[in-house]
Chains A and B, each alone.
Chain A
Amino acid sequence: MSDHHPTGFTRWLYTTNHKDIGSMYLWFSFVMFLIGGAMAMVIRAELYQPGLQFVEPNFFNQMTTMHGLIMVFGAVMPSMVGLANWLIPMQVGAPDMALPRMNNWSFWILPFAFTLLLSSLFMDGGAPNFGWTFYAPLSTTYGPPSTDFFILGVHMMGISSIMGAINVIVTVFNMRAPGMTLMKMPLFVWTWLITAFLLIMVMPVLAGTVTMMLTDRHFGTAFFDAAGGGDPVMFQHIFWFFGHPEVYIMILPAFGVVSEIIPAFSRKKLFGYSSMVYATASIALLSFIVWAHHMFAVGMPLAGELFFMIATMLIAVPTGVKVFNWVATMWQGSLTFETPMLFSIAFVILFTIGGFSGVMLAMAPVDFQYHDTYFVVAHFHYVLFPGAIFGTTAAVYYWLPKWTGKMYNETSGKIHFWLSMIFVNLTFFPMHFSGLAGMPRRIPDYNMMFADFNMWASIGAFGLGLTQIYFLITLVIAIRSGKKAEDKQWEGATGLEWDALPSPAPYHTFSTPPKVD
């Protein structure tokens, strides 16, 4: 087949090529990452010292809400879909995703969805200000008029990720090269397959939730309105039935990424491949029966608190299996510490810290103290920033030579890593302390006693933000003028994309399926 290569804007608009679409997803998520990050800077600037300095409380609430929504739905999820698009066809030996036209559509919905969401910032009454969890009645009875744009935006991004998930499942089930059995698939493909199933199970529930909100707001229903016989607590149950699997949707692909990178730089096979697969599947299954641990303080009966507490703690078992497997993979390996490996090791350490604070939060009796404090903020940022985002960053450094045929500057990469490592801890570690001391979330002003912790966190956040600009510069320099990459850039790398394809990977790959032994 000829290496036909369309050009110009229409190349990107009409493309059905998984590599083009993967790149668009990744760049889109980077733009969203910077926008969501800019909102975080507003939040941290306001919290730099007690008192109200820069923004009105209502605008502060809009910032926390939009920061959460943009980062979850605009940055983390699309970046994972971008990685899936680039890697899954190459890793299973398929010529493209199974449904390329739908792939194009699922990407091009996103810019419209986020234009809708972001446009709400400029509307009368401002953007949504009820937190990314949009609890009723804050979002129904008391939501600003722009809430309807938020609802439509969530519908569109939900459709987009559902279509992305369908594509992954069909590709993995039907497009594998002959000989590529399920248990031979790279772990990144496995974790994404499981993530895709989580997506098709819970994104429709999110769509249902916002639909109920819409009808409550405009069509006289009372799903969440106590006066009409509804129940606001039920909103939380339905939301977290989506919300808890959602947090694994954001982290599982990153598990897959580090499971590829750690063996490559340890020059050993991944320790316990099949236990990794089963552990991932168990985490996914357990995620459906733990949702109410987000609502311990809502007034549940003792039996409910006990059930959700124990089920939640159970998740620490398969997660522990994974962490021990990564450590065991490194054990007695001949390790080298290139940038992707550094990010992966930091992932293991810092994600484990986030996991531990998760176990603390899982304890119902102490959760009454931690609930809605900065301890929760510290916990989920530890699993999301050094978890999902370090994972994606590691993947970008690791596969960049394969995608672009160019190498990044190793020193720049290491500077990016160490600055990120220092600032991420400076930002989020003090939040554990202010949270334990009782500082509430989503409040623009605070007691004097939290001043030092907040100053450190703000300094860390500004540094962390600037470091990501440095990452962008490093990437652009690498893509424009990086050294030529080798076909197998990393000595210990395994998998079809390294062994059977040149760097950069040609526009069309595996038009005839490779042979897998």
Chain B
Amino acid sequence: MTEPTQNSDNKKLVYRLVGIIGGMFLFAFALVPLYNVFCDITGINGKTRGQALYQDVEIDKKRQVTIEFLTNVNRGMPWDFGSKVKSMVVYPGELNEVRFFAKNRSKNDIVGQTVPSVSPGEAALYLNKTECFCFDQQVLAAGEEVEMPMKFYIDADIPEDVTRLTLSYQLFNVTDSVKTESAATK
């Protein structure tokens, strides 16, 4: 009979299939960075990029873009959070500053993290922030109040049809996860 060759054939095929399975399991995790890289390149998820530099930026005085600011406080976050102005009309390329404020209404120290999002998504690539509180976490003591500046410019290459964009900030309470992290590093 051909039993032994049958067995080794089966083994070979099983190893290959297990290889595919292991590969696909890892692929699921690889999707996470792939997703972020893809969104970063195309800007389709409304995610803004990290800190930008304001150097040799050309200002387009021929048109103006309206930018609106939206703030949301997540459930379980006892802070007031908002912007001093609700919208601005700016020239593409010009450096602007908006002031945001945050106040910790609770009796505890709380760490906050804001997450920005731009709509329409394709405009995210053209919104450059040179200074933003969203780059770091904010620690506010009980009752503490701060003003936070945000400086940005809109790239002059922004498509003609985008005349209005919304920058939204969602504020999260990350006190617990910061605690566990520092506990882990100790």
Contacts and interface: CB of A to CB of B under 8 A. Distances in A.
Interface of A: 98-99, 162, 166, 169-170, 173-175, 200-205, 207-209, 212, 220, 222-223, 226-229, 231, 233-234, 237-238, 241, 299-301, 303-304
Contacts of A234: 31-32, 35
A174 B173 CA distance: 57
B21 interface: yes
Interface stretch (B5-13, B78-86, B102-110): B5-13
B2 to A, nearest CB: 10
A228 B177 contact: yes
A interface: dominant SS: helix
Interface in B1-34: 6, 9-10, 13-14, 17-18, 20-29, 31-32
B138 interface: no
A169 B13 contact: yes
A208 B25 contact: yes
Contacts of B177: 220, 222, 227-228
A212 B14 CA distance: 27
Given A169-B17, A220-B184, A234-B31, 5 more contacts: A98-B10, A166-B14, A208-B28, A208-B29, A227-B113
B170 interface: yes
Contact of A231 (B35, B121, B181): B35
Given A222-B177, A227-B172, A227-B174, A173 B13 contact: yes
B32 A204 contact: no
A228 B13 contact: no
B115 A226 contact: yes
B122 interface: yes
A497 B177 CA distance: 61
B35 A200 contact: no
Contacts of A228: 113, 174, 177
Interface in B40-63: 42, 44-46
B44 A301 contact: yes
Given A170-B14, A226-B172, A301-B44, A237 B35 contact: yes
A38 B122 CA distance: 47
A300 B29 CA distance: 22
Interface residues of B, number: 39
B21 A162 contact: yes
Contact of A226 (B29, B170, B180): B170
Contacts of B119: 299
B64 interface: no
A72 to B, nearest CB: 19
A175 B24 CA distance: 26
B173 to A, nearest CB: 8
B74 interface: yes
Contacts of B25: 204-205, 207-208
14 contacts: A166-B14, A169-B17, A170-B13, A174-B13, A202-B24, A205-B24, A205-B27, A205-B31, A208-B29, A220-B177, A223-B32, A227-B172, A229-B115, A304-B44
A233 B45 contact: yes
B90 to A, nearest CB: 24
Nearest to A165: B17
B1 to A, nearest CB: 10
Q: Which of B23, B119, B177 has the most CB of A within 10 A?
A: B177
Contacts of A201: 20, 24
Contacts of A226: 115, 170, 172
B115 A227 contact: yes
The 5 residue pairs across chains A and B that have the minimum distance between CB atoms: A208-B28, A227-B172, A204-B24, A204-B25, A205-B28
Contact of B28 (A98, A170, A220, A238): A238
B22 A204 contact: yes
Nearest to B5: A174
A306 to B, nearest CB: 13
A299 B17 CA distance: 37
B176 to A, nearest CB: 9
Interface in B119-153: 119, 121-122
A35 to B, nearest CB: 29
B115 A99 contact: no
Contact of B17 (A170, A209, A231, A233): A170
B172 to A, nearest CB: 3
Contact of A301 (B20, B21, B122): B122
A99 B119 CA distance: 54
Contacts of B184: 220
Nearest to B174: A227
Contact of B74 (A227, A231, A304): A227
